[in-house]
Chains A and B, each alone.
Chain A
Amino acid sequence: MNKVVKDPAAALDGIQDGMTLMVGGFGLCGIPENSIAELVKMGTKNLTCISNNAGVDDFGLGLLLQAKQVKKMISSYVGENDEFERQMLSGELEVDLIPQGSLAERCRAGGAGIPAFFTPAGYGTEVAEGKEVRIFNGKPHILESALTADYAIVKAWKGDTEGNLIYKATARNFNPMMAMAGKITIAEVEELVPAGTLDPNQIHTPGIFVQRIFQGEKFEKRIEQRTVRSKQ
């Protein structure tokens, strides 16, 4: 099954105002930067974005925030973004903060047909407010529900025409679970190859989870915290 579309515009076709999007990445690592740029061009408004972070002011999801296209963010950590802070404090932007492991598992559950699960994370904190508590093995757990999205937009290193994906290093992060949890999943890849080129043993996301795939024109891959040591 050929999942290839020619460009980001074709990939994002159908995304409308008010929809819920999952956007892969951790910080600026492994984000679908070509798709985000296209979303800014499209000008789609009132989006709910499920993404671990909210980018920085002038890159990543920060670009959507600047253009005031986001109504609500569902994230685990949203520092490093002044415009985000301004919109949140002024009440323009709704924010739902979720423990990182719960966010990952809620996406995985959404894609795996598991409506909810119990986790110890957040018990006894404000995250637990209004949630069912049950004791397992003597320890309290809270009930967390699955997350799904109208569209999931992920970024992979290599992909083939069938939508099979391979990620690189820590750019994998939330991408595999979000790919599973989108009603329509769009993959942007650095290198798109014919089916049969990738070793089936090495596939991280099987093509069944991907509806549309395209090769990004260029990847800036901005580094958020450049840390190095000297050779001496």
Chain B
Amino acid sequence: MALDKTGIAKRIAQELQDGWYVNLGIGIPTLVANYIPEGIEVEFQSENGILGMGPFPFEGEEDPDLINAGKQTITARAGASFFDSAMSFAMIRGQHVQLTVLGAMEVSQNGDIANWKIPGKMVKGMGGAMDLVASADNIIVAMMHSNKAGESKILKNCTLPLTGVGCVKKVVTELAVLEIKDGKFHLIERAPGVSVEEIISKTEGDLVVPDFVPEMQL
């Protein structure tokens, strides 16, 4: 069975390590915050200017001055801090944030990512995505393996305008966990009940498949 969005978030949450500062993008990445493994402590950074982002506020307790990068009302945890946008991106560019999780329209086998622009469609802008992918040491992409037309998003080369080059290290989709190294995708895990053949057939880029591919443990 292919994973749903929650399943992808749960699998990515297993990558979190104690003491990490983490930036979560909009969409599936945001869900990762709900599945922090027991016994570890991580802090979430949102690039509009908060470290120590907490859950959504209770109804009636929303503060218009306290939002995340998706412009959603949030809360601040004990020990949180606020700062301006230049300092926020100093944290990101200066590699003080250990993990960035974000969505993508396409990823290529050399780690390029495209997630901000579709030619011919309304361009909304890259926001902080280019700064995040150019700077983070550890970037995990959370996305579906194929687009709505059924075409693979795991490619030899991206076809859409790039957000960053050679930056993605790992991709988690509803079907598989893939690592990117030496210019190829490497199949690390498959979703429970998903066959290696299905993953191969839905992956356009070069894929290295080991003899044994374990199922994800969720």
Q: Do A and B belong to a common assembly?
A: yes
Q: Which residue of B lies closest to A174 (CB)?
A: B85
CB distance from A128 to the nearest CB of B (A): 10
Q: Is residue A75 within 8 Å, beta carbon to beta carbon, of the partner chain?
A: yes
CA of A177 to CA of B74, assembled, Å: 24
Known: A99-B128, A101-B128. Contact between A169 and B83, CB under 8 A? Answer: no
The reply to whether B127 and A76 form a contact with Cβ atoms under 8 Å apart is yes
List residues 70-124 of chain B with CB under 8 A from any CB of chain A.
Answer: 70-74, 76, 82-86, 88-89, 92-93, 112, 122-124
Main SS class of interface, B: loop
CA of A204 to CA of B49, assembled, Å: 14
Q: Is residue A225 within 8 Å, beta carbon to beta carbon, of the partner chain?
A: yes
The reply to whether B126 and A76 form a contact with Cβ atoms under 8 Å apart is yes
**Residue from B62, B124, B127, B134 whose CB has the most chain A CB atoms within 10 Å:** B134
Interface size on B, residues (CB 8 A): 53
Which of B71, B125, B161 is A27 in contact with, Cβ under 8 Å?
B71
Which of B50, B86, B112, B162 is A177 in contact with, Cβ under 8 Å?
B86
Q: Is residue A160 within 8 Å, beta carbon to beta carbon, of the partner chain?
A: no
Which of A78, A100, A105, A168 is B47 in contact with, Cβ under 8 Å?
A100
Q: Is residue B66 within 8 Å, beta carbon to beta carbon, of the partner chain?
A: yes
The reply to whether A101 and B93 form a contact with Cβ atoms under 8 Å apart is yes
Known: A27-B71, A99-B130. Contact between A228 and B85, CB under 8 A? Answer: no
CB distance from B25 to the nearest CB of A (A): 13
Which of A78, A169, A224, A225 is B125 in contact with, Cβ under 8 Å?
A78
21 A-B Cβ contacts within 8 A?
A26-B67, A26-B71, A27-B67, A97-B126, A99-B131, A119-B93, A119-B134, A121-B134, A167-B84, A168-B65, A170-B48, A170-B67, A170-B68, A173-B48, A176-B86, A223-B62, A223-B67, A227-B56, A227-B57, A227-B72, A229-B55
Q: Which residues of A contact B (CB under 8 A)?
A: 26-30, 52, 75-79, 85, 88-89, 95, 97, 99-105, 107-108, 119-127, 157, 167-177, 204, 221-231
List of 8 A-B pairs having minimum Cβ-Cβ separation, nearest first: A101-B89, A101-B131, A124-B165, A104-B85, A79-B124, A77-B125, A99-B130, A221-B64
